[in-house]
Amino acid sequence: MKKLFMYIIMFSLIFIACEKGNSGQEGVKNKINASGEKTAVATFAGGCFWCTQADFEKLGGVEKVISGYTGGTGNNPNYENYARGGYVEAVQVYYDPDKLTYEQLLDYFWRHIDPTDAGGQFSDRGPEYRSVIFYHNEEQQKIARQSKQVLAGSGKLKKPIATEIIKFTKFYPAEEYHQGYYRKNPFRYKYYRLGSGRDQTLKRLWGNDAGIRPAAQQTYQKPDDATLRKKLTKLQYNVTQKNGTEPPFENEYDHNTREGIYVDIVSGEPLFSSLDKFDSGTGWPSFTKPLEPGNIVEKEYRNFLSSGTEVRSKHADSHLGDVFPDGPQPTGLRYCMNSAALRFIPKEDLEKEGYGQYRKLFDKK
């Protein structure tokens, strides 16, 4: 009995120690958040963490970004002493691995820094501002090394890559006033960023690829049935998974006149644009053409009651609606969709939602 009691005490101490050890290493493995979704973490140093956080928070698939200090010695660094302890300004990026891969994060990271600068980043000089990839496990280390090798061999950069790849140890969040600085102090942030030469240098290094976001929005996956039943309303599930049809006129987007794009409610793949939407008088949202034809699958059907062409999404295989040859010119087509199969993203939210490449469609108007 005494021995059993000692084992219980030992186990409890080990458990507590592990919990404390993990407190600075969240995301080494995928975690399940309160909504039952997976979350992974990556850690990057790319100069001033105000800018690095602002850049990563614009990326679709990223759930949150925290500014902080990592890579040094001593406990509890702060803004006044972190450099003396060998720490660098860094960010921890929490993301959904079903929407965004680590490779895509790296691709995005490279194009928001100067990988050839060994003395800091942009106007911020010193080792505390150098660029570093902190890997959390062997898989991240392998992917980071491969990504660096590919970039070095691409010939895109004229100098050797100075960005280090270092094993992650512990991360200390920065003071609260640093978190989301670009949102709290937009004028000061814009003034600082302009003066730092960051965007000018990125444009010179990367040209049209400067700040390019990876194809996170092009990686679409259909969740399993149990997840879909939780995620979708009964009507959305019936329409997309059981080929149902919602009532005309009494649906969300029939009379929607806002500018933006429509994506698959299941996968998020872009489908239609408000620029091609018209009032067909049928009671369902109608479009003259798809925004991304590659995400549309048309299937002929014929039965004893009717025949026609069904429209489905390519990646999620969602039933969307039908296409008819009675639309307006120039296409003469009417893509008659179910609102329940779609999610509308207004133009002002395109960057935040990870569809920034479509914003230019509305800026040209």
pLDDT-derived band at 214 (thresholds 50, 70, 90) equals low
Residue 341: per-residue pLDDT:
98
CA atoms within 13 A on the CB side of 182: 18
Please state which of the ranges 50-54, 178-182, 191-195, 330-334 shows the lowest mean pLDDT: 330-334
Cβ-based neighbour number of residue 199 at 10 Å: 15
Q: Which residues contact 61 (CB under 8 A, 6 or more apart)?
A: 95, 96, 99, 100, 104, 216, 354
Angle at which helix 198-206 crosses helix 186-196, to 10 degrees, equals 50
> Which residues are known catalytic residues?
48, 336
List, for residues 20-77, the tens digit of each pLDDT value: 333 333 333 455 544 445 789 999 999 999 999 999 988 878 889 999 999 999 999 9
Rounded average pLDDT over 97-119: 92
pLDDT-above-90 percentage for the chain: 63
pTM, full prediction: 0.55
pLDDT-derived band at 229 (thresholds 50, 70, 90) equals very high
Q: Which residue has the higher pLDDT, 125 or 330?
A: 125
Q: Which two tokens stand for residue 309?
A: 């062409």
Residue 3 has pLDDT above 50, yes or no: no
pLDDT-derived band at 359 (thresholds 50, 70, 90) equals confident
Give the CA angle between residues 60, 63, 64 to the nearest 5°. 120
Q: Which two tokens stand for residue 36?
A: 């039952």
Rounded Cα distance, 254 and 338, in Å: 9
Going along the chain from its start, the domains and CATH numbers come out as: 25-218 (3.30.1060.10), 225-363 (2.170.150.20)
pLDDT-derived band at 201 (thresholds 50, 70, 90) equals very high
pLDDT-derived band at 19 (thresholds 50, 70, 90) equals very low
Rounded average pLDDT over 124-153: 95
Residue 25: per-residue pLDDT:
33
Rounded Cα distance, 341 and 265, in Å: 5
Residue 183 has pLDDT above 60, yes or no: yes
Residue 10: per-residue pLDDT:
43
